[in-house]
A and B are shown apart, each in its own frame.
Chain A
Amino acid sequence: MERRDFIKRSVAVSAIGLTGGFSFISLLGNNKTYYFRPPGAVEESQFLAACIRCGKCVQDCPYDSLKLGSLEDGINIGTPYIEFRDVPCYMCADIPCIAACPTTALNHDLKDINSSNMGTAVLTDREDCLSLNGIRCEICYRVCPLTNKAITLTKHPQSITKKHTVFEPVVHKEICTGCGICENACPLDTPAITVLPTERGDKAAHYILLREQQS
């Protein structure tokens, strides 16, 4: 009888211990730096406050672009986020994710998907980018839903052949919505163009650049 009791106890304790342990390890298991939110998401700390983790936006995303945070996402558990490399935001004109949101986590005033701002694409790996090596790739440029606006091509001479052009994809921060289609489409194993948060190296207001004077 005592022996049976002992077994019962150990089973109980180890089951609960293991489950608790798994949960705890999961909590530690993520090293994502950024969470990219659906279009129209308010500022991140506001978003974490306003999102009631209902998952409706995730359900209503027609492309399964939105994923739901789980234990390993810590504070982001239950919140929607996008992994561009997996499925980018395909920028539905009717923005179903915003329509689905019962709270103010997604800005219900955003009507034009093209003015959303999920982040900004950045040509992060200039050394491996095929286009910068003279290969006629520029897939990011052509798949961009704001073709020739968010990403434009700057031409340089190809220094080795001296006969060809290097078409450099240049992202324009103020137009890029951070939909991530470019990051998704980049043919390299690790994309050379990635979406980063828009707020990065923001220029102070006390100086007007020459470029800005002209435009």
Chain B
Amino acid sequence: MQLGTILLLLSPLLNLGIFRGTLISGELFSVLLVDPFAAIDFMLAIKEIFMPLVLGASILVGFYFIVGGRVFCGWVCPIYLLSEFMLKLNKKLAVFHIKPSATFKYYLFMIFLLLSLVTSKPVFELISPIGIISQNIALGIDRPQAQFGKELGSSGDIADSGYTSSLMTESYYDWQILFNNSLWLILLILLIDVFVSKGWWCRHACPVGTFYTLLGKYSPVKIKIDSEACTKCNECFDVCLPSNVLLAPVQGKTNWVIDSSCTNCLNCIDKCPENALKVSLKIKKENVS
């Protein structure tokens, strides 16, 4: 799933002209896209409105509004992917079991926005693991580019002498890996995931996720549960990063996964031995029974 994102981030290396940039801001087929949360952060920091940015963010807002806010997390965000792997490790290695309260993420969300407003810096973007990881993917592998003449090699006939001058073979700029040490932050998040608090970042902290949670409230794409088929084996919980979203439906309180923390990652559908889960459009309001 997110591998697609990673390929997209790496695509400039092949000069396909599909995508350039990172998950904070990028251009898909030359259309500017901006992470809406980053856009809000930015506008709070500089306290003015910059239209291209608003436009770029609106496209994403509209898209995720329709397909489900946290689809970003479940389908795009590489951190979420890593966090999912950590779930498995956590099962074996967890040492502590800290679980922040359900409202913690909303407080954190507000704190980040307020900080941006007060300090005039887009504070979350400084430490945004989404930014860090996508920058490291997109920029970390450096293709020898059109350096002021470096890539040209030579023209005409070259005798393959097997003993070539260093000037011919030595390139100033070769393919190189340029990961930067901001990746420590990501490792830190993941280690806490494993040892301390299951999925803490994606479930309880990430303000981008929180933003999408809010956005996805009325999204029509939801997961439907066939409560008759469900045997309450609870296997789906193991693969669900925002696991509490399944709680209500599995307990039979509703047929829909209505909690907008759901990322529509569809792991539960794959996992369910009874095929009790499926994706559906939820147009009409349904009462919780």
Contacts and interface: CB of A to CB of B under 8 A. Distances in A.
A73 to B, nearest CB: 9
A15 B20 contact: no
A23 B188 contact: yes
Contacts of A100: 20-21
Task: Name, among A63, A90, A102, the residue most crowded by chain B CB atoms within 10 Å (CB to CB).
Answer: A102
Contacts of B26: 54, 56
Contacts of A56: 20-22, 25-27
Contacts of A159: none
A46 B21 CA distance: 22
Interface in A1-60: 8-9, 12-13, 15-16, 19-20, 22-23, 26, 45-46, 48-56, 58-60
B184 A78 contact: no
A104 B39 CA distance: 12
Interface in B14-32: 20-22, 24-27, 32
Nearest to B135: A55
Contacts of B35: 52
A52 B25 CA distance: 8
A77 interface: yes
Interface residues of B, number: 56
Interface stretch (A64-72, A114-122, A202-210): A64-72
B133 to A, nearest CB: 11
A55 B128 contact: no
B84 to A, nearest CB: 20
B98 to A, nearest CB: 12
A16 B191 CA distance: 6
14 contacts: A12-B96, A16-B196, A54-B34, A54-B38, A54-B135, A56-B25, A62-B146, A63-B147, A63-B148, A64-B173, A71-B185, A77-B126, A90-B148, A104-B48
Interface of A: 8-9, 12-13, 15-16, 19-20, 22-23, 26, 45-46, 48-56, 58-60, 62-64, 68, 70-72, 75, 77-78, 90, 100, 102-104
